[in-house]
């Protein structure tokens, strides 16, 4: 029976831990090619431009011995040139798996509903599960654990925030989210995360105070204030997010050995200062590298045989 990864609702806490362990194995493999996906072809169906997601998946599939096919917006315009259902049914006849990077999360759901091969959400407007799994692996890599740590997320309650909420709650990381009014994460996703948090004795706090969120935090996490597709809102968002920048003054409130994380791309001088993102506490490029290893673990779990 095929399995999809549309959001971290699709994985139990134990399955996330298993993925982290597999990721560690793959990272220690010294980039040696292997045949876990030999003879298999994965398509990247992308409706948005990409740097890390596209390159890490293409390289990962290659390192696992498979073939990768990129289908950008000019090749497939989901729901416009052809219905999402028809695209999914057709591609299923050719492929062994699909990584979808879409605008609407419903497109990912529709692809999975009509596909006979696994669908991996490479980003949608609601979730970014591959990024969150990478982030959790990066945290465990730096601290040697996840349980009991606290993560302060400062900024827009967006798709990355949603996936971190679900993932952190499942592995025991406390999460404090500071957003301006009307930029909070979706209430239904917060409520779902709180059900997971009860099982792991984890705390979730939503606040408008970056200072309250960052105080004694082990991890400070930031993302862009203006995401792809929100350019028309740029002036308003920059005004609304005034006071939510991660800078040295704010970071002084965090734990002494805190780490700074950002899923990239970043705008220095906007959501974070250069001193922080390029400083000794930053692990943003470790995060970027770990997309490769984590996504290889995801591909093997859904499409190949575990080592």
Give the residue numbers marked as catalytic. Answer: 101, 128, 131, 223, 263, 291
Give the three-state DSSP class for 100: strand
Contact 214, 203 (CB under 8 A): no
Check: CB of residue 137 under 8 Å from CB of residue 113: no
Task: For residue 162, give the 3-state DSSP assignment.
Answer: helix
Return the number of other C-beta atoms located less than 10 Å from residue 94's C-beta.
Answer: 10
Q: Are 282 and 254 in contact (CB under 8 A)?
A: no
The b-or-e profile of 169-192 (16+ CB within 10 A means b, else e) is bbbbbbbbbbbbeebbbeeebbeb
- Tell me the C-alpha distance between 262 and 154, whole Å: 10
Paired with 268 in beta bridges are 272
**What one-character DSSP code corresponds to residue 5?**
B
How many CB atoms are located within 10 Å of the residue 149 CB? 22
State how far the Cα of 296 lies from the Cα of 298, in Å rounded to an integer.
5
The dihedral region occupied by 124, where left means phi > 0, alpha psi between -120 and 50, and beta the remainder, is: beta
Give the angle subtended at the CA of 127 by the CAs of 144 and 217, to the nearest 5°: 40
Residue 197 Cα distances to 5, 14, 150, 171, 173, angstroms: 21, 14, 13, 9, 9
Q: Give burial (CB, 10 Å; 0-12/13-18/19+) of 143.
A: middle
Query: Would you give the end-to-end CA distance of the chain in angstroms?
Result: 20
């Amino acid at each position: 029976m095929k399995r999809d990864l549309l959001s971290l609702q699709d994985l139990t806490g134990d399955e996330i831990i298993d993925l982290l362990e597999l990721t560690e194995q793959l990272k220690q493999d010294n980039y040696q090619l292997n045949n876990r996906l030999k003879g298999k072809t994965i398509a990247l169906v992308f409706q948005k431009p990409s740097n890390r997601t596209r390159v890490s998946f293409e390289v990962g599939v290659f390192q696992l011995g498979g073939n990768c096919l990129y289908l950008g917006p000019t090749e497939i315009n989901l729901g416009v040139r052809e219905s999402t259902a028809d695209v999914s049914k057709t591609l299923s006849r050719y492929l062994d798996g699909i990584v979808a990077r879409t605008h609407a999360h419903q497109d990912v759901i529709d692809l999975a509903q009509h596909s006979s091969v696994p669908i991996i959400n490479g980003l949608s407007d609601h979730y970014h599960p591959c990024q969150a799994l990478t982030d959790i692996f990066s945290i465990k890599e730096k601290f040697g654990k996840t349980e009991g740590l606290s993560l302060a997320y400062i900024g827009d309650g967006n798709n990355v925030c949603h996936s971190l909420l679900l993932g952190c709650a499942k592995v025991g990381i406390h999460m404090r989210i500071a957003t301006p009014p009307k930029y909070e994460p979706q209430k239904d996703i917060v409520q779902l995360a709180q059900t997971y948090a009860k099982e792991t004795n984890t705390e979730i706090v939503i606040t408008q105070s970056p200072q309250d969120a960052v105080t004694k935090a082990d991890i400070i996490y930031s993302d862009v204030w203006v995401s792809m597709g929100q350019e028309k809102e740029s002036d308003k968002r920059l005004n609304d997010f005034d006071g939510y920048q991660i800078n040295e003054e704010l970071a002084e409130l965090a734990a002494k050995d805190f780490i700074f994380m950002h899923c990239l791309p970043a705008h220095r001088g906007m959501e974070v200062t250069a001193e922080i993102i390029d400083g000794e506490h930053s692990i943003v490029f470790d995060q970027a590298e770990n997309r490769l290893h984590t996504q290889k673990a995801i591909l093997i779990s859904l499409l190949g045989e575990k080592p």
